[in-house]
Amino acid sequence: MNARRAPWLLTMLLVMVSLPILILYTWLFVDSVSVSAPGSIWPKAFTLKNWRFLFETIEGHASIWRVTFNTLVFALCTVTVVIGTSVTAGYALSRLKFPFRAQFLGGVLILHAFPSISLIVAIFLMLRLLGLYDTLAGVILVKASLEIPFGIWVMKGFYDSVPWEIEMAGIQDGASRFQVWRRLILPQVQPAIAALAIFSFIAAWSEFILPLVLAPSSETQLLSVYLAGLLTDDYLSDYGLLKAVGLFYILPVMVFYLFTQDKLMNIYSGATKG
C-alpha cells in the first residue's frame, strides 16, 4: 500500500481523537491567566486576578496555604511509609527464606489486584473506632497501607533482577545478610526506590476519596477536597479562579511527569506485567 501517505493519515486521525485532551489542558493554562468575553472562549486580556486565592482566603473555604501544607505533609508521609515498608518487605519476599513465604507473596499479589476502594465503609468505621477519624495520621496510614502491596510488588521485581553473585560475594567476605542488604543491594535498587517514591507521591497528592471521607474538616483538608468544594459551590462558577487553583494543584504532578515520564511509564507497565 502507499506506505508514504499512511502515516500522515494516521497522524491526522490521532490528532483528531486526542484533541479533547489537548484542548482541556491547554485551556487549563490559558483561562487561569486571562479573561475572555462572556460567551466566548478566546482570551481577551492577560490577568492575574484569578490567582488572588494565594493572598486572600475565599469566603467559606479554608486557607489555601494551610491546605497545601496539609497535602504536602500527607504526600511526604505516605511516601515515607510506603518506601520504608516496601523496601524491606520486598527484599524479604525476593531473597530471604522464611515460613509461608509463598503464601505471603500470594497475599500481596491478591491485595495488589484487589479493588481497595470497596473497603471505604469499613475503613471509615475502623478509623472512628481507633480514634483516628479526621486526623492526617489516619488518612496517611490508610493511604500508605493500600499502596503497600503495589510497592512491595514493584520492589520485589527490582530485587529479583539484582544478580545473586553480589550477595554471594558479600557473604563470602563475611558480611551478614543485613549488611549485604544495606551496603550492597540497596544501592543497586536506588532507581527503583526513586521511581516508587515519585509514583506514590503523585498517587497521594492526587488522592480524593480517602481524605474526603476520612478527614473532611477544614483543619485536615487536602487540596483535592478543597478544589472539589469550590467546584460544587454553586456561587462559584468562576472557571478562571477554579482553573488557577487547579493549575496550582496540578503543578508538582506535571513537573514530575515532564521530567520522569519514562520511569513512570515503566512502573505503570512493569506493575501490571508482573
Name which of residues 124 to 183 contact another protein (CB under 8 A): 124-126, 128-129, 141-142, 144-146, 148-149, 152, 164, 167-168, 171, 176-178
Of the pair 66, 111, the CB lying nearest another protein is at 111
How far is residue 203's CA from residue 115's CA, in Å, rounded to a whole number? 15
Is 105 within 8 Å of 97 (Cβ atoms)?
Answer: no
- Helix (H) and strand (E) counts for the chain? 12, 2
| From 46-54, 57-65, 104-112, 182-190, span contacting another protein (CB under 8 A) | 104-112
Q: How would DSSP label each residue in 19-72?
A: HHHHHHHHHHHHHHTEEE-TT--SEEEE--GGGGGGTSPPTTS--HHHHHHHHH
- Decide if residue 13 touches another protein (CB under 8 A): yes
How far is residue 213's CA from residue 39's CA, in Å, rounded to a whole number? 37
- Decide if residue 16 touches another protein (CB under 8 A): no
- Decide if residue 123 touches another protein (CB under 8 A): yes
* Residues of this chain, 35-64, that bind another protein according to CB under 8 A: 38-41
- Decide if residue 95 touches another protein (CB under 8 A): yes
Least separation in angstroms between CB 246 and another protein? 4
- Decide if residue 72 touches another protein (CB under 8 A): no
Is 36 within 8 Å of 43 (Cβ atoms)?
Answer: yes
- Decide if residue 268 touches another protein (CB under 8 A): yes
Least separation in angstroms between CB 122 and another protein? 4
How far is residue 242's CA from residue 216's CA, in Å, rounded to a whole number? 20
- Decide if residue 81 touches another protein (CB under 8 A): yes
- Decide if residue 76 touches another protein (CB under 8 A): no
Tell me, letter by letter, the H, E, C secondary structure of 53-65: HHCCCCCCCCCHH
Is 95 within 8 Å of 158 (Cβ atoms)?
Answer: no
Of the pair 63, 80, the CB lying nearest another protein is at 80
Least separation in angstroms between CB 89 and another protein? 4
- Decide if residue 6 touches another protein (CB under 8 A): yes
Is 214 within 8 Å of 134 (Cβ atoms)?
Answer: yes
Q: Which of 150, 158, 201, 205 binds another protein (CB under 8 A)?
A: 205
Least separation in angstroms between CB 19 and another protein? 10
- Decide if residue 18 touches another protein (CB under 8 A): yes
CA-CA distances (angstroms) from residue 19 to 49, 124, 274? Answer: 29, 40, 33
Could you tell me which of 140, 143, 145, 148 has the C-alpha nearest to residue 90? 148
How far is residue 79's CA from residue 201's CA, in Å, rounded to a whole number? 6
- Decide if residue 274 touches another protein (CB under 8 A): yes
- Decide if residue 21 touches another protein (CB under 8 A): yes
